Amino acid sequence: MEGDANGWQPDPMRHYRSKRDAAHLTVASKYKIVGFISSGTYGRVYKAISRDGTDSVHAIKKFKPDKEGDVVTYTGISQSAIREIALNREISHENVVAMKEVILEEKSIYMVFEYAEHDFLQVIHHHAQTLRTPISMSVLKSLTYQLLNGLLYLHEAHIIHRDLKPANILINSSGTVKIGDLGLARITYQPLQPLFAGDKVVVTIWYRAPELLMGARHYHWAVDTWAVGCVVAELASLRPIFKGEEAKMDGKKNVPFQRDQLIKVFEVVGTPDEKDWPGFTDMPEYQSVKKLDRFENRLLTWCNSKIRTSLGYDLLRQLFTYDPDKRLHCREALIHKWFEEDPKPTRNAFASVQGHHIPPHRRITQEDTQSVVQTQAHPAAPPPMHALSHSVMPTSGASFGSLSGGQQTARPKKRARV
């Protein structure tokens, strides 16, 4: 194709891009943003209603653009967003939050998820501050069983979550637990780089496994099951079991010794030795641990006042095993005799709960919604940049969805993604 006298070459893709942009549906044209839910390190989450006539409710996660001073810059898609999108589009399980689509618009990424009315943290606060009564054994077992069921699915799909905590574990109005927020999750089957590379600090400090606190550079699924033990203990006692103060990184981004957090663990589970944890004395932080006072294991005493059942204590004891290779796996936990003891877990975690004992729906505010809502005045207008929202068919072969550790939900035929 010949250019003009000035040597200008026509762009053969210009017509295609223009047509594609005109047909692109914006976030505001597909969803009505009704309120702000929460914000985190990587983005903000909003409640939205579909405009397709079904009035279905969704949670939309908007990743933050990069900032240099007061100017928003675009430096590409973050590693966390890429991981979360890649993992979510491959998985499908009733106890894991389902991603509906991904939209790239105005140099921001929007991930659309199914909506859940509650989370574990909300349940804990409702019982601690409003009801001032413990969570019933039936609810505790049901929440724990479903959490383990969803986590087994992820682990058998070679995914470790690496950020399990009450705020990241959701519950919908049907009493179904949904594991959410895979922003720190990693594939453990033939990863392209070691898990330690790029993520020197993982898991919120109160739920961080001892091997991570001891500076381990190699770890596996056991970091998640330790976190499950912490979550179960918090559900039972209505407060974190290991509530330590986190030591912050220095200016050179060196990972500090987490002295206070380790002491909180040792105070309950006792100070380990080589018999409890082969290789413990070879851990990077062992010389620092040697300077600490020794503590005896008092987990049984703790459980006697909080869980009040020997089988409940036995489950926690195995989840809090120091040696990661001997720590209880989700598969083993699901067949633990605690779940066979009455009351047994139910598919609807709230089945036995009176109405006022169910926490209210998550709080929605108008705070911080302006950046999304302001575009809704002209929902049909095409975006100023070419935004992508392509359909994608499920991958063939042994995808993550075929490796369920529990019952699978039906997989949709099409999903949208970047």
Report, as residue numbers or ranges, the catalytic residues: 163
Residue for token pair 């068919």: 393
Query: Helix (H, G, I), strand (E, B), or coil: what is residue 147?
Result: helix
Q: Give the integer Cα–Cα distance in Å for 4 and 6.
A: 5
Query: Helix (H, G, I), strand (E, B), or coil: what is residue 339?
Result: helix
DSSP code for 162: S
The burial class, CB within 10 Å (0-12 / 13-18 / 19+), for 103 is buried
The burial class, CB within 10 Å (0-12 / 13-18 / 19+), for 217 is exposed
Q: Are 416 and 101 in contact (CB under 8 A)?
A: yes
How crowded is the C-beta side of 164, counted as CA atoms within 13 Å?
A: 29
Distance of CA 204 to the CA centre of its chain: 11
Cis amide bond preceding 343, omega within 30 = yes
Strands 108-114 and 99-105 turn out to be antiparallel
Q: Which of 20, 40, 29 is nearest to 81 (CA)?
A: 40
Q: Give the integer Cα–Cα distance in Å for 175 and 178.
A: 10
Q: Which of 258, 254, 150 is nearest to 203 (CA)?
A: 258
For residue 102, what are the CA distances in angstroms to 40, 85, 122, 183? Answer: 18, 8, 27, 15
Q: Give the integer Cα–Cα distance in Å for 325 and 313.
A: 20
